[in-house]
Structure 1
Amino acid sequence: MILYHGSNTEIEQINLSKSKPYKDFGKGFYLSDNEDQAMNMAKQKVIQTESGSETINRYEFDDTRLNDGSLKVKVFTSYDEEWAEFILANRNRNNKNKVHDYDIVIGPIADDKVGVQVRLLLEEYIDITTFKKRLQYIKGMTIQYYFGTQRAIDTLKKL
């Protein structure tokens, strides 16, 4: 399968130490199987950094690796409570340690305003059911692929 990573630059070599913490599935390298979604991310990156140009990095991934036992994989198929709690744990800045040990996590993208919703939940203004509903991506379900270990990164072939 082909996966896409939107950025403001060409990525010659993936370096996990450059990844930002407190993302949906934790600190890691994120890709999409939807090229339009990756382009939207590239546009956002250019705006955020005020540098570079919209760039789609393409990778080939042998998806049979998801089931061959060589990688620890977690797949979320819907916006459910387990997914919402997983997002909360990874986005919670009070969690200083890595929340999980998965090589790859696949699941829906949360809405862009996750930080606000995390704060509302932690301060008990909303419950987990409301949190889950508010995290659902407004444009419809789009899947993201998290590669969080070097072992996972090594399965990607740059195109």
Structure 2
Amino acid sequence: MITLYHGSNVEIEQIDLTLSKKGKDFGCGFYLNANMQQASDMAVRTFRRMMSGSPIVNAYTFDDSILREPSDLKVKVFDDYTVEWADFVLMNRKNNSTISVHPYDIVIGPIANDTVGVQIRRYIMGYISIENLIEELRFKGNHAVQYYFGTQKAINLLNKVSL
């Protein structure tokens, strides 16, 4: 069992996937990470961007043993910044639809650097190689792993807890 955190400007009582934003690293979904400080930093950024609410860290427990057991849950894990990870992020970042371009319920992998948009444009325009893109997208910080829950089946595995 692990605790995962989501930084926001509101308390999230019920996760609503229809509120997910397009063009994110792993697609439209609910994003969390295991580092409370990173979630807190995200809460502050979200509050400043939205100019409403207050910085709030929402916490959820997740039985990660399900990731090691056979199930009908579709899970993709990226262990590091690789060409496969970069291609996956590019595919999702280019998707302007709320319809997923991949079959996964849960995706776990590295967080892309906040300047991802600029770096992707540089790559698409041929200014940098895929290897340089990967290095540019490498998050500068500790515990740079994000957990994407993209289906209701996956969301149902999260249990809200109080901090």
Quickly name the TM-score band, shorter chain normalised: over 0.9
Greater than 4 Å deviation, 4+ residue runs = 93-97
Residues paired across the two proteins, number: 159
TM-score w.r.t. the length of structure 2 is 0.92
Gaps of 5+ in 2: none
- Residue 77 (structure 1) aligned with residue 51 (structure 2): no
TM-score w.r.t. the length of structure 1 is 0.95
Gaps of 5+ in 1: none
Percent identical pairs in the alignment equals: 52
SS class of match (2:84): helix
Within a 5 Å distance, the mapping from 1:46-61 to structure 2 comes to 46-61=47-62
Question: Which one of the candidate residues 90, 93, 100 is aligned to 2:92?
Answer: 90
List per-residue Cα deviations over 1:99-119 (Å, max 9, x = no partner): 201000001100001111111
- Residue 147 (structure 1) aligned with residue 152 (structure 2): no
Within a 5 Å distance, the mapping from 1:7-86 to structure 2 comes to 7-68=8-69, 69-86=71-88
Native 8 Å contact 2:5 2:34 kept in 1? yes
Q: Distance in 1 between matches of 2:96 and 2:155?
A: 27
Native 8 Å contact 2:95 2:101 kept in 1? no
Residue 154 of structure 1: CA displacement? 0.4
Native 8 Å contact 1:24 1:91 kept in 2? yes
- The amino acid that maps onto 2:11 is E
Residue 67 of structure 1: CA displacement? 2.3
Q: CA RMSD in A?
A: 1.5
